[in-house]
C-alpha cells in the first residue's frame, strides 16, 4: 500500500485493551489511539503503524494508562523520523504524556500542536519559538511564574496580556504558581492567534505602570457593577418588605370586618333552657346518690323491728 494513497479512517489494531486507527490526510497519516495502554502496544507501533516514509500526526487524547516506556517510544520514533526529514507530531496530548516527555528534556524533542489543523503549516525552522509547541508552553508557564509583567490578574482572576494590555476573559487563574495546562494553552492561543502586539522576533512588553493602570480600572469597573447589583437587591428587598407589610395590614382589616359582623351576644330562644345552667341538687338526691349511703329494703326494716320487740318483752 502506498503512503500517498488516500485513505478513509481504518482500524489497524483492535483488541480488548486498545484500538489504533489510521487516516490519510494532506501529507500526514493521522493515527488515533484509544483505550488503555499495554506494553504490547510498543511492538504494534513498530511493526504495524509507523511503516511508511511519511509524516505522522498522533492523537492520544483518549488513551489512558500511558507510561514512561510509551513516552520513550514516541520520543525515539520522532527523533528517528527527524533524521529522515519526516515529522511525528502529537496532537493535543494529555497532561500525563506531556509530563512524561518533559522528563526526557535534553535527549529528544517531540513536536506538539494543539489542534489537527495546525498540521497543515510547514515544518518549523530551527530557532523559531514555534518549532516545538511543548517548549513554548513551558516558556509561557515560566513567564507566568517569574515575570512580573505576566502576573496582572483582576479581582475575578482574569489575566491582562502583557503585550496588548487587554483583559483576556478566557484566561483565568488564581495563582501564577499553580496554573492548569488548559490555561497555559489558552494564553498560547491568544498570543499566537489573536494578539496583534505579540511579535515572536521582537517581544515588546507594556510598561508596568500601564498594566497597573489597566488593572486598577478593571477592578473599579467590577466594583461599580457589584455596587449596582447590591443597590438593585436592596431596592427589591425594600419593595418586597413593603408588599409584605401591606398584605399584613389587609389581613388585619379583613379580620376586623369579620368580627364586626358577629352578634354581641348569643340569641335567646323562648322555651329553651340554657345548656350551660348549673345543676340543682336536693338533699334527697344528695343522700341517695352518696356513695357512702347503703339503701335498705322493706323486708330488712321489718326484721329489725321484730327483733327489737322480743328484746323489750
Looking up cell 511564574 gives 145
30 has a pLDDT exceeding 90: yes
H-state helical runs in the chain: 40-44, 68-83, 95-102, 133-146, 181-189, 208-261, 283-288, 298-312
* DSSP SS3 for 300: helix
Q: How confident is the model at residue 61 (pLDDT cuts 50, 70, 90)?
A: very high
pLDDT for position 106: 43
* DSSP SS3 for 21: strand
Contact indicator for 181, 173 with CB cutoff of 8 Å:
no
59 has a pLDDT exceeding 80: yes
d(CA 179, CA 159): 12
Residue 116's CB is within 10 A of a number of other CB atoms, namely 15
Most confident of the ranges 131-145, 259-273, 274-288: 131-145
| Position with higher pLDDT, 70 vs 260 | 70
pLDDT for position 201: 66
Cell for 293? 349511703
Contact indicator for 81, 167 with CB cutoff of 8 Å:
no
Q: Mean pLDDT in the chain?
A: 80
Residue 309's CB is within 10 A of a number of other CB atoms, namely 8
3-state helix, strand, coil in the chain (%, to 5): 45, 15, 35
d(CA 215, CA 35): 45
Read off the pLDDT of residues 203-238 as tens digits, 9 standing for 90 and up: 899 999 999 999 999 988 887 655 566 667 777 887
Domains and CATH numbers, the chain: 1-123 (3.30.750.24), 125-246 (no CATH)
Cell for 180? 492548569
Read off the pLDDT of residues 130-162 as tens digits, 9 standing for 90 and up: 555 777 788 899 999 999 999 999 999 999 999
What is the model's pTM? 0.50
Amino acid at each position: 500500500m502506498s503512503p500517498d494513497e488516500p485513505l478513509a479512517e481504518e482500524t489497524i489494531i483492535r483488541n480488548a485493551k486498545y484500538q489504533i486507527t489510521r487516516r490519510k490526510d494532506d501529507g500526514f497519516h493521522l493515527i488515533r489511539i484509544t483505550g488503555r495502554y499495554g506494553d504490547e502496544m510498543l511492538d504494534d507501533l513498530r511493526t504495524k503503524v509507523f511503516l511508511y516514509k511519511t509524516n505522522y500526526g498522533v492523537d492520544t487524547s483518549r488513551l489512558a494508562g500511558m507510561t514512561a516506556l510509551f513516552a520513550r517510544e514516541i520520543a525515539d520514533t520522532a527523533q528517528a523520523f527527524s533524521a529522515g526529514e519526516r515529522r511525528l507530531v502529537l496532537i493535543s496530548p494529555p497532561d500525563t504524556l506531556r509530563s512524561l516527555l518533559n522528563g526526557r528534556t535534553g535527549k529528544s524533542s517531540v513536536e506538539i500542536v494543539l489542534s489537527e489543523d495546525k498540521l497543515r503549516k510547514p515544518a518549523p525552522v530551527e530557532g523559531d519559538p514555534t518549532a516545538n509547541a511543548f517548549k513554548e508552553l513551558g516558556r509561557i508557564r515560566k513567564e507566568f511564574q517569574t515575570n512580573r509583567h505576566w502576573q496582572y490578574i483582576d479581582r475575578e482572576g482574569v489575566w491582562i496580556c502583557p503585550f496588548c494590555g487587554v483583559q483576556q476573559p478566557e484566561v483565568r487563574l488564581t495563582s501564577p504558581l499553580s496554573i492548569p495546562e488548559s490555561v497555559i494553552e489558552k494564553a498560547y492561543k491568544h498570543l499566537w492567534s489573536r494578539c496583534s502586539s505579540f511579535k515572536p522576533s521582537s517581544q515588546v512588553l507594556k510598561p508596568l505602570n500601564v498594566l497597573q493602570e489597566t488593572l486598577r480600572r478593571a477592578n473599579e469597573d467590577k466594583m461599580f457593577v457589584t455596587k449596582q447589583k447590591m443597590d438593585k437587591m436592596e431596592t427589591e428587598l425594600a419593595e418586597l418588605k413593603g408588599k409584605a407589610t401591606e398584605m399584613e395590614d389587609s389581613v388585619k382589616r379583613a379580620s376586623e370586618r369579620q368580627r364586626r359582623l358577629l352578634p354581641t351576644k348569643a340569641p335567646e330562644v323562648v322555651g329553651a333552657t340554657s345548656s350551660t345552667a348549673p345543676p340543682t341538687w336536693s338533699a334527697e338526691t344528695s343522700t341517695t346518690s352518696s356513695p357512702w349511703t347503703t339503701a335498705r329494703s322493706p323486708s330488712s326494716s321489718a326484721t329489725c323491728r321484730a327483733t327489737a320487740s322480743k328484746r323489750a318483752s
